Chains A and B, each alone.
Chain A
Amino acid sequence: MKGIQWLEASWLGAWMNGSTWVFPVVESVHLVFLALLGGSVLLMDLRLLGVLDLPMAAVARGTKVLTRLSLVMMIVTGFLLFASETRLLFENAAFQWKIGGLMFALGHMFLVRDPFVRRCESVSGKSRWIALVSILLWLSVAVFGRWVGFS
């Protein structure tokens, strides 16, 4: 807890809190990439669920770069937002759940879903489960993320 407070006191935290516009702009960028992340993750998952009739390999290739780009942007902007209110967020239950959910969502994506997609050609019971877990995990990250602002 004490180990993280330096962040809010650092130049980064000061910059985030230094003007009226910085925080809202960073937050908007975070939201724009939520759209891109949500869209690209969902497209792959809908394909694995068998409710999107497009070539599996093409969807996988197309979404991969978009998902990774938006993940990087969300984590960078998310870190900036975290730096502006480190102490408050660190003690916020919704934020803790969000980060927990994010770890599971990332683990599922990189260790389970994407390796599976590489050798998967058709929809099966297994592909449906993998997609369903992916959708639920990312949905929980987004819900907890929104709830950070309410608590």
Chain B
Amino acid sequence: MIPGFVQFLQDSPGSIALRESLYLYSITETVHVLSIMLFVGTVLMFDLRLLGFSFREIDWNLMVKRVLPWSRIGFVLIVTSGIILFYANPERMFHSVWLRIKLMVLLLAGLNAFLFHLKAHRRIRVAGAVSLVAWIAVIVLGRMIAYSWFDCGRTDSLFVQNVAQCPVEEAAE
């Protein structure tokens, strides 16, 4: 069912137009990469405060109120451009092993942030450390999506083929 939907997206006019566009795709990707500065950049500032590494003279509760609204703007930008990038290449993205791991780590980062705002963390340093490591991992995993080493049909790793749910006929001999 999901592969069918992915196929539907792949064949939809908007997706084809994006893939074949001269500038629209590149501009979207630029927005996505540049939003890292606004989103991950400001989140890292906050994480480093939680860790007690930077801005120790500023109360971290104040940082929540003053810095995180900027992160939220960045989050909207980066998620929106990310969805458009997925829509431009649904099939390749759906079977990207990097994107799959990236989304898992993203989920972990989201859960960590959720627990933090519920004030469930005994030690804010733990929340800061998990967030810092998770977002760095998301950047690295995201960068790796662009490389095609582990694309279906290009790798003979059974592990990757299983994680990426490669269509059988496309698996490398």
Q: Given A35-B41, A40-B41, A43-B45, 14 other A-B contacts at CB below 8 A?
A: A35-B37, A35-B44, A35-B136, A39-B40, A39-B43, A46-B70, A52-B67, A54-B66, A54-B67, A62-B45, A62-B57, A139-B34, A142-B37, A143-B30
Residue B6 at the chain A interface, CB threshold 8 Å: no
Q: Considering the chains assembled together, what is the distance between the CA atoms of A54 and B48 in angstroms? A: 16
Given contacts A27-B143, A53-B66, contact A37 B37 (CB under 8 A): yes
Residue B58 contacts which of A31, A35, A54 (CB distance < 8 angstroms)?
A54
Residues A38 and B62 in contact, CB atoms below 8 Å apart? no
Residues A55 and B54 in contact, CB atoms below 8 Å apart? no
Residues A39 and B57 in contact, CB atoms below 8 Å apart? no
How many chain B residues touch A (Cβ–Cβ < 8 Å)? Answer: 33
Residues A28 and B144 in contact, CB atoms below 8 Å apart? yes
Residue B147 contacts which of A24, A36, A55 (CB distance < 8 angstroms)?
A24
Q: Considering the chains assembled together, what is the distance between the CA atoms of A52 and B147 in angstroms? A: 38
Given contacts A53-B66, A150-B26, contact A39 B143 (CB under 8 A): no
Residue B91 at the chain A interface, CB threshold 8 Å: no
Q: Considering the chains assembled together, what is the distance between the CA atoms of A52 and B140 in angstroms? A: 29
A52 — which chain B residues lie within 8 A by C-beta?
66-67, 70
B149 — which chain A residues lie within 8 A by C-beta?
20
* Distance to closest chain B CB from A150 (angstroms): 5
Q: Considering the chains assembled together, what is the distance between the CA atoms of A20 and B48 in angstroms? A: 32
* Distance to closest chain A CB from B156 (angstroms): 15
Residues B143 and A31 in contact, CB atoms below 8 Å apart? yes
Residue A65 at the chain B interface, CB threshold 8 Å: yes
Chain B contact residues, CB within 8 Å of chain A:
26, 29-30, 33-34, 36-38, 40-45, 48-49, 54-55, 57-58, 62-63, 66-67, 70, 135-136, 139-140, 143-144, 147, 149
Chain A contact residues, CB within 8 Å of chain B:
20, 24, 27-28, 31-32, 34-40, 42-43, 46, 52-55, 58-59, 61-63, 65-66, 139, 142-143, 146-147, 150
Residue A28 contacts which of B43, B58, B139 (CB distance < 8 angstroms)?
B139
Q: Considering the chains assembled together, what is the distance between the CA atoms of A40 and B45 in angstroms? A: 7
* Distance to closest chain B CB from A100 (angstroms): 18
B135 — which chain A residues lie within 8 A by C-beta?
35
Residue A42 contacts which of B38, B55, B62, B136 (CB distance < 8 angstroms)?
B38
B144 — which chain A residues lie within 8 A by C-beta?
24, 28
Residues B140 and A43 in contact, CB atoms below 8 Å apart? no
A58 — which chain B residues lie within 8 A by C-beta?
55, 57-58
Residues B34 and A39 in contact, CB atoms below 8 Å apart? no
Q: Considering the chains assembled together, what is the distance between the CA atoms of A32 and B139 in angstroms? A: 7
A-B contact pairs, 13 of them (CB 8 A): A20-B149, A24-B147, A28-B144, A31-B33, A34-B36, A35-B37, A36-B44, A39-B40, A42-B37, A54-B67, A58-B58, A61-B57, A66-B45
